[in-house]
């Protein structure tokens, strides 16, 4: 394979065969078909095997919240294209669309400011792969075929001697971390953000990276967001890669049209106890603002620079740089419309500081 062809193919999940099948939604479904897929959470997300770059067998086990690669024997040259892009997404990918995503959505739409996503992942101890979001933009509200605007890739981790399409053009601090910025054009712009320190979880507003790409001239505010995807590109292996939990929301809702019901939530926190080098935020109150019950919720917020989480309660909390993601505990995820739940956390900070977190974002499932 020539380097030029390899670079073109390496742009992530480019092909979903016309004969791909979306099976009925159910948990713990094994998919080994090359382009097989299934819906989960009542069609809110699609999980796809997407073994686009290899003819060896790849299988994934789909759960109600993500998937695990259970069989893979990729052995691709690391200076060429990866073997596949097993992934989960909201929106449209080659005419295979989820329900209630609100996509396509113009980046100039006020609702775009509220598009949020989060993921938690598991990585094996060896192999060659990247773990990446794939956020697609098109000049038109496309629901089928290849997007021709911009592909924003957010690499949370990479293992082995691999690199994104194009060349490195700078570094930037976004979503509580430092990222290498790469750019190339293969018929559409590919802008890759490679985290300088790996993480297995993150939550962010899609506009965080989209705005940076637009400011660099690689995307346009008039283009349409068509899908938000996250998964893995394996070159060698890679059994054991897993998306444990993925979420996508628009303005704290399930992504559907405003006023059409469904799930949604809001979150707000107060810090009643503060001292010289620390504070407690309790409660962070989560409210079901939708017209349907929730089965779970995810709250994302950012700690001020230099602040470190030192404890939490009534939620499962993970950190990625300064970004904190709190997911409901087993006892407080189910909320009737209008019902509330709460959690709390403790933070250490540089002595004499007065800042506390603000801007809590909530997504319901």
Under 8 Å between Cβ of 201 and 297: no
Tokens of 273: 């106890």
> Is a pLDDT exceeding 60 seen at residue 259?
no
3-state percent breakdown (helix, strand, coil) of the chain, nearest 5: 5, 50, 45
Q: Flag whether 259 is in a domain.
A: no
Residue 344, token pair as written in the block = 């709390």
Select which of 130, 134, 138, 151 is catalytic: 151
Q: CATH number of the domain at 60, please.
A: 2.60.120.180
**Mean per-residue pLDDT for 1-30?**
46
User: Residue 246: which pLDDT band, with cuts at 50, 70 and 90?
Assistant: very high
Query: What's residue 103's pLDDT?
Result: 94
In a domain, 208, yes or no: yes
What is the Cα–Cα distance from 122 to 38, expressed in whole angstroms? 21
Residue 50's pLDDT is 96
> Collapsing DSSP states into helix, strand and coil, what is residue 215?
helix
Q: In this structure, are residues 244 and 121 in contact, taking their beta carbons and an 8 Å threshold?
A: yes
How many residues are present in the chain?
365
281 pLDDT more than 60 = yes
Q: Per residue, what are the HEC states of 282-331?
A: EEEEEEECCCCCECCEEEEEECCCCCEEEEEECEEEEEECCEEEEEECCC
Is residue 19 predicted with pLDDT exceeding 50? Answer: no
Q: How far apart are CA 91 and CA 102, in angstroms?
A: 8
Whether residue 97 sits in one domain with residue 27: yes
Asked if residue 87 and residue 147 are part of one domain, the reply reads yes
What single-letter DSSP state applies at residue 168? E
The answer to whether residue 295 sits within a structural domain is yes
Residue 33 annotated in active site: no
Q: Give the Cα separation of 151 and 134 in Å (integer).
A: 7
Residues 240 and 284 in one domain: no
pTM of the model: 0.67
Q: Do residues 214 and 303 both lie within one domain?
A: no
> 282 with 172, same domain?
no
What angle (nearest 5°) sits at the alpha carbon of residue 4, between those of residues 3 and 6? Answer: 60
Number of domains in the chain: 2
> Which stretch of 130-139, 186-195, 279-288, 320-329 has the lowest confidence by average pLDDT?
320-329
Q: How far apart are CA 342 and CA 314, in angstroms?
A: 7
Answer whether 171's CB lies under 8 Å from 179's CB: yes
Angle (CA) 5-8-11 rounded to 5° is 145
Residues 323 and 352 in one domain: yes
Bridge pairing between strands 242-250 and 224-237: unpaired
CA angle, 154 as apex, 148 and 156 as ends, to 5°? Answer: 155
Q: Which domain holds residue 213?
A: 3-250
What's the mean pLDDT in 223-246?
A: 95
| Given the residues 233, 250, 265, 279, the one annotated as active site | 233
Q: What is the pLDDT of residue 251?
A: 66
Which of 225, 250, 275 corresponds to the end of one domain?
A: 250
Residue 213: phi and psi, rounded to 5, are -65, -40
pLDDT at 20 over 70: no
């Amino acid at each position: 394979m020539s380097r030029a062809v390899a670079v073109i193919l390496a742009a992530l999940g480019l092909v979903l065969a016309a004969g791909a099948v979306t099976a009925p939604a159910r948990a713990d479904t094994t998919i080994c078909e090359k382009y097989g897929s299934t819906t989960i959470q009542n069609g809110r997300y699609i999980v796809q095997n997407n073994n686009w770059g290899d003819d060896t067998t790849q299988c994934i086990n789909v759960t109600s919240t993500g998937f695990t690669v259970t069989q893979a024997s990729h052995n691709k040259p690391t200076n060429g294209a990866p073997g596949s892009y097993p992934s989960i997404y909201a929106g449209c990918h080659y005419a295979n669309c989820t329900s209630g995503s609100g996509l396509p959505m113009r980046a100039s739409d006020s609702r775009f400011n509220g598009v949020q996503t989060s993921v938690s992942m598991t990585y094996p101890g060896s192999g060659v792969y990247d773990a990446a979001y794939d956020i697609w933009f098109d000049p038109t509200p496309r629901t089928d075929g290849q997007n021709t605007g911009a592909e924003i890739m957010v690499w949370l981790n990479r293992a082995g001697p691999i690199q994104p399409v194009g060349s490195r053009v700078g570094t930037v601090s976004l979503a509580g971390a430092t990222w290498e910025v790469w750019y190339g054009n293969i018929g559409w712009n590919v802008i890759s953000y490679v985290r300088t320190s790996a993480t297995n979880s993150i939550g962010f507003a899609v506009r965080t990276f989209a705005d940076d790409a637009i400011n660099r001239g690689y995307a346009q505010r008039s283009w349409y967001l068509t899908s938000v995807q996250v998964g893995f590109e394996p070159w060698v292996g890679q059994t054991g890669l897993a998306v444990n939990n993925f979420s996508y929301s628009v303005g704290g809702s399930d992504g559907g049209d405003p006023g059409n019901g469904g799930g949604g939530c809001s979150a707000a926190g107060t810090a009643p106890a503060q001292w010289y080098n620390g504070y407690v935020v309790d409660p962070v109150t989560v409210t079901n603002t939708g017209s349907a019950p929730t089965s779970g919720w995810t709250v994302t917020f950012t700690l001020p620079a230099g602040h470190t989480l030192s404890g939490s309660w009534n939620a499962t909390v993970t950190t990625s740089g300064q970004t904190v993601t709190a997911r409901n505990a087993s006892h407080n995820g189910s909320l009737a419309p209008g019902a509330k739940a709460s959690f709390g956390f403790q933070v250490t900070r540089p002595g004499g500081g007065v800042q506390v977190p603000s801007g809590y974002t909530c997504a319901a499932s």
